[in-house]
């Protein structure tokens, strides 16, 4: 029974054999044709085009933050896959600056896709003006779901290069200066320098020198040594300084402080120094402000009355005490004598006084005399022979010796109408 069954199963009719032969031939021909067609398609695959853009988002002393935009266009009629994508940049000496790995992606047929990533990295070599960027990876084409092929990628560089370290900007400088004390050779000054860092990274400011110059570039003062420092990113550092300027600073029209220093910055592990030069214009200082901020000047004005046949002789004495270490000079002095009757004043006469120089910590005097006729003295008032009081008005100028800048001098003294009594008035 088993033998007959086996013989029946192995028996194939001639028609069946013919049918199987036809099927095998058709499948073979189909495979050959399909393989030929697929091979032709593979050979006609167009290479995808890629564009890389790298923009600097932030810089620190140790690394650089980049925004990387990778655009790839698939011109084929089938999808492609990108994997193990690596972007590398080299400087103009061929040394690798950075190496980046991008995420895998799939690009449908006849479409363009943008891959954007943010990376923070440290550079591996010195920066140069020219940076070359290249992309490598595996690009796989997929068609009919059964055949794949690895393709090369063409890179296009948007910018040929950039010197990142040159993005360091020179800090802005502000200066505040004050006159302090008089010395035998000039005036001491003090102030501060504000260094504003507009960069994201810290910068160092060192080797600072400064001098005071006039409009012709002649030095008229010096600044003592100024210590440098580190200015944090987006911050301002204030440095104090002291110095001395000559007395000619009060007479010139323009005064400048010339500041020079070295600015250093570190980006992505690499340092660079830049020269800093700043010229700050200063207004001509006021002698009055300086004298008002120091020891006050002592001034006295005296008047003595004596009867003479032609009238009343008024002896006027002006005295000034110099508290400074440089001579004090007064000139253009004029004293007016007034008769005051309650709220009504009449000028009785005026007299000029001689200029005088007062040395350090000494007093000097200037004298003058005037005769006031009796008629003018007694009949200038309002129904009274004697006034309510006499007033002495002193007008003139004073300055430090050797300085053209002058300060107005105005001083009043009020005297009793008792003519034989001398009255002294001091500030």
pLDDT digits (tens, 9 = 90+) for 321-354: 999 888 999 999 999 999 998 888 999 999 999 9
Distance separating alpha carbons of residues 335 and 248, to the nearest angstrom: 31
Domain formed by 49-163, architecture: Sandwich (2.60)
pLDDT digits (tens, 9 = 90+) for 347-373: 999 999 999 899 988 888 889 999 999
Q: Where are the domains of the chain?
A: 49-163, 168-285, 295-425
Q: How many CA atoms lie within 13 A of 175 on its CB side?
A: 21
Q: What's the Cα-to-Cα distance from 361 to each of 42, 155, 180, 406, rounded to whole Å?
A: 106, 85, 19, 20
Judge whether 49-163 and 168-285 match in fold. Answer: yes
**How far from chain centre, in Å, is Cα 256?**
18
Distance separating alpha carbons of residues 48 and 144, to the nearest angstrom: 19
pLDDT over threshold 90, residue 209: yes
Select the more confidently predicted residue: 11 or 315: 315
Q: Which CATH number fits domain 168-285: 1.10.275.10, 2.60.40.10, 3.40.50.80, 2.170.120.12?
A: 2.60.40.10
The sign of the torsion formed by the CA atoms of 71, 75, 77, 82 equals negative
Nearest to 262 by CA among 350, 352, 171, 187: 171
CATH fold for domain 295-425: Immunoglobulin-like (2.60.40)
Q: What's the Cα-to-Cα distance from 2 to each of 8, 12, 184, 367, rounded to whole Å?
A: 10, 18, 139, 163
Nearest to 328 by CA among 368, 299, 285, 303: 299
Distance separating alpha carbons of residues 280 and 259, to the nearest angstrom: 8
Select the more confidently predicted residue: 4 or 374: 374
**Residue 182: what pLDDT?**
87
Angle at 389 between CA 386 and CA 391, to 5 degrees: 125
Cα-only R_g, the chain: 49
Distance separating alpha carbons of residues 37 and 364, to the nearest angstrom: 120
**Residue 333: what pLDDT?**
95
The pTM of the full predicted model, rounded to 2 decimals, is: 0.59
């Amino acid at each position: 029974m088993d033998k007959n069954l086996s013989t029946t199963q192995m028996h194939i009719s001639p028609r069946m054999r013919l049918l199987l032969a036809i099927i095998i031939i058709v499948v073979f021909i189909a495979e050959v044709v399909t393989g030929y067609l697929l091979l032709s398609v593979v050979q006609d695959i167009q290479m995808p085009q890629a564009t890389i853009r790298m923009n600097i988002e932030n810089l620190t002393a140790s690394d650089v933050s980049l925004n990387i935009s990778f655009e790839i266009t698939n011109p084929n009629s089938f999808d492609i896959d990108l994997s193990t994508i690596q972007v590398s940049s080299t400087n103009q000496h061929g040394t690798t600056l950075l190496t980046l790995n991008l995420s895998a992606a799939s690009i449908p047929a006849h479409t363009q896709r943008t891959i954007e990533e943010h990376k923070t990295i440290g550079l591996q070599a010195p920066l140069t003006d020219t940076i070359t960027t290249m992309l490598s990876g595996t690009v796989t084409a997929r068609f009919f779901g059964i055949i794949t092929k690895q393709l090369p990628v063409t890179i296009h560089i948007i910018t040929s290069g950039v010197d990142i370290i040159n993005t360091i900007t020179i800090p802005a400088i502000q200066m505040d200066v004050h006159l302090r004390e008089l010395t035998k050779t000039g005036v001491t000054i003090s102030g501060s320098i504000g260094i504003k860092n507009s960069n994201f990274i810290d910068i160092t400011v060192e080797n600072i020198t400064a001098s005071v110059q006039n409009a012709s570039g002649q030095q008229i003062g010096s600044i003592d040594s100024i210590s440098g420092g580190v200015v944090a990113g987006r911050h301002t550092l204030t440095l104090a300084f002291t110095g001395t300027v000559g007395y000619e600073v009060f007479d010139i029209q323009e005064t400048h402080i010339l500041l020079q220093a070295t600015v250093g910055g570190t980006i992505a592990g690499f340092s660079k120094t830049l020269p800093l030069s700043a010229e700050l214009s200063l207004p001509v200082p006021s002698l009055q402000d300086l004298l008002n901020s120091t020891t006050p000047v002592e001034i006295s004005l005296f008047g003595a009355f004596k009867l003479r046949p032609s009238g009343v002789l008024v002896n006027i004495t002006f005295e000034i005490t110099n508290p400074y270490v440089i001579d004090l000079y007064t000139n253009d002095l004029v004293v007016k004598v007034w008769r005051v009757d309650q709220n009504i004043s009449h000028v009785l006469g005026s007299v000029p006084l001689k200029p005088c120089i007062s040395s350090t910590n000494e007093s000097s005097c200037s004298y003058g005399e005037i005769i006031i006729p009796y008629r003018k003295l007694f009949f200038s008032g309002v129904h009274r022979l004697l006034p309510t009081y006499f007033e002495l008005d002193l007008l003139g100028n004073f300055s430090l010796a050797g300085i053209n800048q002058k300060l107005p001098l105005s001083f009043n003294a009020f005297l009793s109408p008792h003519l034989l009594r001398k009255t002294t008035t001091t500030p």
